[in-house]
Amino acid sequence: MSIRKRMMQDIDRDIADHIAMETQDNIDRGMSPEEARHAALRKFGNVTRVTEDTRSAWGYVWLEQLWQDLRFGVRMFFKSPGFTAVAVITLALGIGANTAIFSMINAIMFRTLPVKNPRSLVSIKWTARHLPDTGEAGVYSWGGCPDAMPTPQPVSEGCNFSYPMFERFKGEQVLSEVFAMVPSSVPVNAFGHSGRANGLCVSGTFFSMLGVRPLLGRLLIASDDNSSASPAAVVGYRFWKTFLNGDPNIVGKPISFGKARYTLVGIASPEFGGLDPGVPSDFWVPLTFQPGMTFESAPKALWLAMMARLKPGVTASQTEAALSAMFAQNATRGPMAIFKPEDLPGIELPTAAYGLNSLRYDFTRPLLTLLTAVGLVLLIACANIAGLMLARSKARQKEIAMRTALGASRVRIVQQLLAESMLLSLAGGAAGLLLGYWGARTLMLFLSSNWSQPIDLHVQPDAHVLGFTLTASVLVGILFGLAPALNSRNVDLTHALKETTGSAAGTPNGSWFTLANGLIIGQMALTVIVLVGTGLLVRTLTNLKNTNIGFDSKNLVIFDLDATYSSRTATELRDLGPEIRQRIAGMAGVTSVTYSFLPLMKGSRMFAKISSIGPEKQSGELSFLPIAPDFFETMVVPLVVGRTITVQDIREQNTGARRHVAIVNQAFVRRYFGNQRRLGDRFRTADNNEFEIIGVVGDMRHENLRDASLPTVYVPIFNIPGFTGLGTFEVRTAIDSKSLMSAIRAEVSHFDSNLLVTNMKTQTEQIEQNIYQERLVARLSALFTLVALILACVGVHGRLSYQVSMRTQEIGVRLALGAQRGNIARIVLRQAFALTSIGATIGVIAALGLTRFLQSFLYGVKTTDSWTIATACLLLLGWALLASYIPARRAMRIDPMEALRYE
């Protein structure tokens, strides 16, 4: 046994021995035994404190006391399981919601790529004073910069380079390695599945530089870059599992991505989803096998993105300087010259440790908004539990007074109360962690189903998430533990010990602005902030849904049709659209069918430059959509004047007939013709085609629900050479459109099994997807607000119930002296009303300041919307009065005789 342990065990006995000896001495001196013992004790001092001080000589006491406090806390909580359950569940919800949102933010922003040494990876970005002049080549700019937030500075920048420039970078000694890539999105029809696959065309060192391992087979290597090598493809784990049925024998088999045929040489390891966290790549193919690309011939074409690894010991800024010099030289002179020397072209190397992060741009704002909302809810939960703890600590005042009298120091008491609150918050935090994981997964599934590609984020709790949850729990524990702990310091010993349990101890005889009332007011204020914010978001969503979009989105099936795998010739392809249209139109339940180059409400639109338009020969840019016959009939858009596009128009356009016809919308007429509907007017596009206006239709929104209709031109749909997508079909159904989907699929496949039907959904679903951010934020805020309201309700109820029970005697006296029961109830309700009103006033002021940050989310409603604010306040007041009903009734029913006997 250690000396420490032995000494500690003997303390009590030693002290007892000591006192016994002293007593004996005193008796020897002639005192009575009782007197002797008292004298001995007096001389010894406070036994409890001496014991504690002696123990503290052995260190670890703090820990031991903590352990003691925790055990005591657990016992206390088991004594009041109701309170414990409410507190832990409240905390679990609050912390869980925060953990869930943070897990998402963490997965999107703070996780490095699962590759070898991600911190030394950089992207390569050019900057210049002016836009590059790429001449004939044009800019195929797909971004490829990490964290592609648009920068509003007057500098032009980009992450795309020409192939010869990539070779220059490859030859640079200052970089340890570099690879180039370009994204590719192609239709795939393989092994019984069809759809689109998103991949990357990469240079040979891609996998070796990232240190990715194959799950099966091999990955791409440098020799795959040779145009003489047989074309090889690697697929991602997720694609292999879902699309290729996880078949291990697939390695070595041929596979087509779009028109190009490859041999599938391997499957990447499951951890590596690609360079864009959360958006897994389906395949990787060598850069040189991009069909239709001739790199050498286009030294100015900017289309490749690059990633490089810094040399160990060389800083990014040193490397930047070296590369800038090389780039400035090559980009201002010779065949690759795209800048003038005064443009000062240079190179920057932003870190690529977190990957390309395309999700960040879209999700950061809604997630941060939600984090604010859940943060407020957690604060409300905190205030709530602080109130409960406060009431409990009042009830425990006698116990605390007793402990103090027995020699416990104040620090010790505060420590014990804090240990108890910490115990609660950690229990809540542990439950919250589980809840948070579940929540984050649910959130991810929601986002995934509304995003253009499947999302696969790693939301499992990692060190960041654990740290966040732990910190949140500890802070919360301190926050709500502080109130009762501070309160315990003001205990008046003699007073508290004399009191019978729970009578005057909590009488609000002092200031009305007590800590407990402050907590309720704070809770009310926070709830109002959340209510107003949610109100604005919900109104935004309803406004969006009730927007007049100019066409009927119900009972409309849309799908994309792709003829990549069809063996038809270009001329045959031209007739494919009308044929399919006829096939589907003949189906039972289908009212009408049309197709257009782009789907509506998918966030995209086409532009055309007009060189001469209207009486003033204006030039301008307008929205533009190629459509098939019956487009306006199918979409239910009114034809204001003239006629719509016919099969004849399409045929003439496709056979290169002299006459181009166009239908314009009313916004177009308003803008260029001063609202005079003139048919037969002509306008000229920038590529010098002349169009004759043959009809005017009503305005419809193309891109999304928010943006009003732009001046738009509809032209007969045409085939772009080499482009195998037929566009988006729109099918108006007389019956539930969902039920027709599989029949339409079957019809198309029956007609030609090589045609790919992708993105099939109803137009309503498409709209819902388009407003997923608003839906997500509004719905989750509504959920959190409900939680906030319930918490606030519980808080008010608890506070008032407690007050009524504390004032039982006083109420009894009042009743005995002839007070009306109605008046008694009014006292309670007045209290609720006062607390809520003060809280709501503070909340509204705070909300006016805070909701500014919601501005960009809102639609059709101002942040200062009085209706929303009034509703929020009334709702809260209603809730608060409802919550005070039970305590008020209890106060009314107090029996004066009973209450007075209580003393």
- Using CB under 8 A as the binding rule, whether residue 22 contacts other proteins is answered as yes
Our finding on whether 282 is near other proteins (CB under 8 A) is: no
As separate numbers, helices (DSSP H) first and strands (DSSP E) second, the chain gives 26, 23
Binding mask 663-692 for other proteins (x = CB under 8 A): ------------------------------
| Phi/psi of residue 193, nearest 5 degrees | -115, 150
Q: Return the DSSP state at 351.
A: B
Which of 20, 445, 570, 641 touches other proteins by CB under 8 A? 20
Q: Is 901 in the site for other proteins (CB under 8 A)?
A: no
Q: Is 7 in the site for other proteins (CB under 8 A)?
A: yes
Window contacting other proteins (CB under 8 A); options: 37-45, 240-248, 393-401, 518-526: 37-45
The Cα–Cα gap between 636 and 896 comes to 74
At residue 642, the 3 state secondary structure works out as strand
- Binding-site member from 9, 32, 35, 53 for other proteins (CB under 8 A): 53
Confirm or reject binding of residue 27 to other proteins (CB under 8 A). no
Q: How far is the CB of 50 from other proteins (least distance, A)?
A: 4
Q: Which long-range contacts (CB under 8 A, 24 or more apart) does 820-824 make?
A: 821/892, 821/893, 822/892, 824/891, 824/892, 824/894
DSSP 818: T
How far is residue 153's CA from residue 448's CA, in Å, rounded to a whole number? 33
CA-to-CA dists, residue 350 to 158, 684, 703, angstroms: 12, 44, 32
Say how far apart CA 67 and CA 416 lie, in whole Å: 10
**Residue number with CB closer to other proteins (11 or 293):** 11
**Minimum distance from residue 109 beta carbon to other proteins (Å):** 47
Residues sharing a CB contact under 8 Å with residue 160, sequence separation 6 or more, in sequence order? 139, 140, 141, 142, 144, 302, 303, 304, 305
Q: Does 618 bind other proteins (CB under 8 A)?
A: no
Nearer CB in complex with other proteins: 7/395 = 7
Instruction: Name the nearest CA neighbour of 179 among 33, 306, 299.
Output: 306
Binding residue (CB under 8 A) for other proteins from 5, 9, 10, 682: 10
Q: How near is the Cβ of 489 to other proteins at its closest, in Å?
A: 9
Per-residue buried b or exposed e for 108-122, using 16+ beta carbons within 10 Å of the residue's own CB: bbebebbbeebebbb
- Per the rule left: phi > 0, alpha: psi between -120 and 50, beta: everything else, 314 is beta
Applying CB under 8 A, the site for other proteins has a residue count of: 30
Q: In 3-state terms, what secondary structure has residue 304?
A: strand
The window from 54-62, 139-147, 429-437, 683-691 that contacts other proteins (CB under 8 A) reads 54-62
Q: Which of 1, 3, 463, 720 touches other proteins (CB under 8 A)?
A: 3
Options 32, 35, 57, 870; binder of other proteins; rule CB under 8 A: 57
Least distance from other proteins to the Cβ atom of residue 19, Å: 9
d(CA 162, CA 172): 16
Question: Is 58 or 361 the residue whose CB approaches other proteins more closely?
Answer: 58
Q: Least distance from C-beta 21 to other proteins, angstroms?
A: 4
CB nearer other proteins, residue 44 or residue 67? 44
* 14 contacts other proteins (rule: CB under 8 A): yes
Task: Answer for the pair 608, 679: CB distance below 8 angstroms, yes or no.
Answer: no
Radius of gyration, CA atoms only, the chain: 37
d(CA 165, CA 345): 14
For residue 136, give the DSSP letter: G
Question: Site residues for other proteins, window 382-441 (CB under 8 A)?
Answer: 409-411
Residue 27: phi and psi, rounded to 5, are -60, -40
Q: Which of 43, 333, 609, 893 binds other proteins (CB under 8 A)?
A: 43
Residue among 13 and 75 whose Cβ is closer to other proteins = 13
Does the protein bind other proteins through residue 33 (CB under 8 A)? no
Q: Would you say 27 or 827 has its CB closer to other proteins?
A: 27
12 near other proteins, rule: CB under 8 A? no
Residue 404 vs 737, nearer CB to other proteins: 404
β-pairing, 305-310 vs 175-190, is antiparallel
- In the complex with other proteins, the residue whose CB is nearer, 42 or 79, is 42
Q: Closest CB to other proteins among 115 and 413?
A: 413
Amino acid at residue number 882: L
46 touching other proteins, by CB under 8 A = yes
CA 349 to chain centre: 28
- How far apart are the C-alpha atoms of 108 and 131, rounded to whole Å? 31
**Tokens 């995934």 correspond to what residue?**
448
Judging by DSSP bridges, how do beta strands 690-697 and 660-665 pair with one another?
parallel
- Which range of residues in 47-55, 79-87, 448-456, 781-789 is near other proteins by CB under 8 A? 47-55
> How far are the Cα atoms of 55, 619, 814 from residue 892, in angstroms, in the given order?
54, 79, 11
d(CA 610, CA 661): 15
813 near other proteins (CB under 8 A): no
Closer residue to other proteins, CB minimum distance, 108 or 485: 485
Binding piece for other proteins, criterion CB under 8 A, among 45-53, 89-97, 254-262, 360-368:
45-53
Query: Per CB under 8 A, which region of 6-14, 233-241, 578-586, 800-808 contacts other proteins?
Result: 6-14
Site for other proteins in 59-118 (CB under 8 A): 59
Residue of 31, 38, 54, 846 that binds other proteins (CB under 8 A) = 54
Segment contacting other proteins by CB under 8 A, of 56-64, 126-134, 468-476, 547-555: 56-64
**Structure token pair of residue 481:** 């533990």
φ, ψ of residue 184 in degrees (nearest 5): -145, 130
Contacts of 37 (CB under 8 A, 6+ apart): 19, 23, 26
Dmax over CA atoms of the chain, in Å, equals 135
How would you classify the pairing of strands 660-665 and 712-716?
antiparallel
Binding test (CB under 8 A) with other proteins, winner from 32, 33, 49, 723: 49
Selected from 33, 45, 248, 674, the binder of other proteins by CB under 8 A is 45
Using the minimum distance from each CB to other proteins, give the nearer residue, 45 or 171. 45
Nearer to other proteins, 21 or 321 (CB): 21
By CB under 8 A, which span of 42-50, 469-477, 666-674, 881-889 interacts with other proteins? Answer: 42-50
Q: Based on CB atoms, which residue is closest to other proteins, 408 or 598?
A: 408
Of 54 and 351, which CB lies nearer to other proteins in the complex structure? Answer: 54
Question: Which residues between 120 and 139 bind other proteins (CB under 8 A)?
Answer: none
**Residues 558 and 595: beta-carbon distance below 8 Å:** no
Residue closer to other proteins, measured from CB, 25 or 752: 25
Residue type present at position 336: M
Rounded Cα distance, 240 and 246, in Å: 5
Output 59 or 211, the one with its CB closest to other proteins.
59
Alpha carbon 653 to its chain's center: 47
Closer Cβ to other proteins, 4 or 643, answer by number:
4
Residues that bind other proteins (CB under 8 A): 3-4, 7, 10-11, 14-15, 17-18, 20-22, 24-25, 43-47, 49-50, 53-54, 56-59, 409-411
